[in-house]
Amino acid sequence: MRRFIQRNPLWALVILVAVVIFLWMIFAIWPEWLEKLMGDSNKRTFVNAILNGITQGALYFLVASGFTLIFGLMRNVNLAHGSLYLLGGYIGFEISDATGSWYLSFLVAFIAIGLIGIALQIVVFRRMEGQELRQTMVTIGISIVLADIILWIWGGDFYQIWAPDWLSGPVTTPFISGIRSSGEVVYIKYPSVRALILLAAIVIGIGMWLALNRTRIGMLVRAGVDDRDMLAATGVRVQLVFVAVFAFGAGLAGLAGVVGGTFQSLQPGEDTRILLASLIVVIVGGMGSIPGAALGALLIGLAEQLGSVYVPTYSVVLTFLIMVLVLAFRPQGLLGR
């Protein structure tokens, strides 16, 4: 960081000013001219859009981190990742519907989809190691088959997973929205489910970072990403690492399915939507990089939510615009190597 400031003093200043303005916009009470400037919208809208962008990013991160980990380690673009997400969501729905437990649905979805991931790795990918094109085609095929099986079992209806009662309704955030003429301070409210999901995603993200950087398995995975042939040559059973990573990545997608089913909904077509989103996230963040997936997910989530409020007509284009810019100026992704 110090080196960055020494090398680019101008940019560092610009970034610092932007951060200060942003923090001021979050914490200060907006004067009237600012509300005018932001297209006649108030601070509540702005803070909510920011928070929603972060929660949306949290969902994308859960899906994309597994996707990028699998790619980084096995050079395998798993285009069935979106189907695993959707399947995890439906399994989570069935569990929470049958047992009434929201928490159990996360666990079961994670394990079930993880097992499917193991099966995929052993039955399909191990047979065609190093043949990227063939793997890609096969995963497209699997995603189509899975989508039809899902449609066959659950139909086209919409499913939502219902969060426990204590999570329904909003919580009060520490951000002030305004002060009434009576002197009463009005705080911004935010849906509790989303707040919890945001917290959980941050915990998972930090946990993954710690696991990758502070444990032996993490060391193996990182070594495998850099050079898996050398890793195999040192006597590590690479195939086992592959299976573990695939299972974990797939399990995360299943987990994300339950998250998505809770604050959005489950329906046919969500699989390709989420796959497209995680592809963009991974392209923006850098293929194979976990911090990259986090940054990309945050950027895309914020772009979608701020876009939907401030430039609703063009919000669809915004994410692709980010992708185009990244590809034009930093084709390996923001944090890619």
Partner 1 sequence: MRNWLTTAAAVGAFAFAANAHAQETLTIGVMATLEGTYTVLGEDGIRGLEMAMEQAGYEAGGRPIEIIIAATDASPDSAVRAARKLVEQDGVDIVIGPLSGSEGIAIRDYAKTQPQMTFINGSSGAQETTYVTPADNFFRFNMDGAQWSVGLGDYLYEEKGYRNIVTIAEDYSFTYTQVFGLALEFCAAGGEISERFWVPLGTSDFASIIASLPDDVDAIYLGLGGGDAVNFLNQYQQAGGDANLIGGTIMVDQTVLQSRGRAKEALIGTPASGPQGDTWEDENWQAYVAEFQEMYPDRFPSLLATAYYNSANAVINALNAVDGDLSDGHAAFREALATMELEAPNGLITLDDNRQAVGTNFVTEVVEDADGNLVTEVVSIVEGVNQTLGYDPAVFASIGLPSRDIPECRAYE
C-alpha–C-alpha distance, residues 99 and 110, integer Å: 16
Q: What's the min distance (Å) between Cβ of 316 and partner 1?
A: 5
Q: Which of 124, 21, 121, 113 is nearest to 73 (CA)?
A: 121
Among 191, 224, 296, 336, which residue interacts with partner 1 (rule: CB under 8 A)? 191
Q: What's the min distance (Å) between Cβ of 40 and partner 1?
A: 10
Among 159, 187, 222, 228, which residue interacts with partner 1 (rule: CB under 8 A)? 159
Bridging pattern class, strands 185-191 and 170-179 = antiparallel
Among 64, 73, 150, 161, which residue interacts with partner 1 (rule: CB under 8 A)? 161
* Residues 92-121 interacting with partner 1 (rule: CB under 8 A): 93, 97
Q: What is the DSSP letter of 189?
A: E
Q: What is the DSSP letter of 311?
A: S
Among 9, 100, 141, 155, which residue interacts with partner 1 (rule: CB under 8 A)? 155
Verify binding: residue 332, partner 1, rule CB under 8 A: no
* Residues 295-314 interacting with partner 1 (rule: CB under 8 A): 304-306, 308-309, 312-313
**Cα→Cα distances 42→23, 111, 118, 303, Å:** 16, 44, 49, 19
Nearer to partner 1 (CB atom), residue 99 or residue 168:
168
Verify binding: residue 194, partner 1, rule CB under 8 A: yes
Ramachandran category for residue 184: left, alpha or beta (phi over 0 → left; psi -120 to 50 → alpha): beta
- Both structure tokens of 298: 């945050």
Verify binding: residue 187, partner 1, rule CB under 8 A: no
Exposure string over 220-257, b if 16+ CB within 10 A, otherwise e: bbebbbeebeebeeeebebeebbbbbbbbbbbbbbbbb
Distance of CA 235 to the CA centre of its chain: 34
Q: Is the distance from CB of 296 to CB of 323 less than 8 angstroms?
A: no
C-alpha–C-alpha distance, residues 69 and 188, integer Å: 37
Verify binding: residue 173, partner 1, rule CB under 8 A: no
Verify binding: residue 45, partner 1, rule CB under 8 A: yes
Nearer to partner 1 (CB atom), residue 81 or residue 194:
194
Among 9, 169, 207, 331, which residue interacts with partner 1 (rule: CB under 8 A)? 169
Among 77, 270, 284, 298, which residue interacts with partner 1 (rule: CB under 8 A)? 270
Among 158, 206, 227, 325, which residue interacts with partner 1 (rule: CB under 8 A)? 158
Q: What's the min distance (Å) between Cβ of 185 and partner 1?
A: 17
Residue 216, burial from CB neighbour count under 10 angstroms (0-12, 13-18, 19+): exposed
Verify binding: residue 181, partner 1, rule CB under 8 A: no
Nearer to partner 1 (CB atom), residue 45 or residue 332:
45
Selected range binding partner 1 among 12-20, 101-109, 119-127, 166-174, rule: CB under 8 A: 166-174
Q: Which of 249, 204, 197 is nearest to 73 (CA)?
A: 249
Q: Kindly list the residues in this chain that would bind partner 1 in the complex (CB under 8 A).
A: 41, 44-45, 48-49, 52-53, 55-56, 93, 97, 151, 155-163, 168-170, 189-194, 263-265, 267-270, 273, 304-306, 308-309, 312-313, 315-316
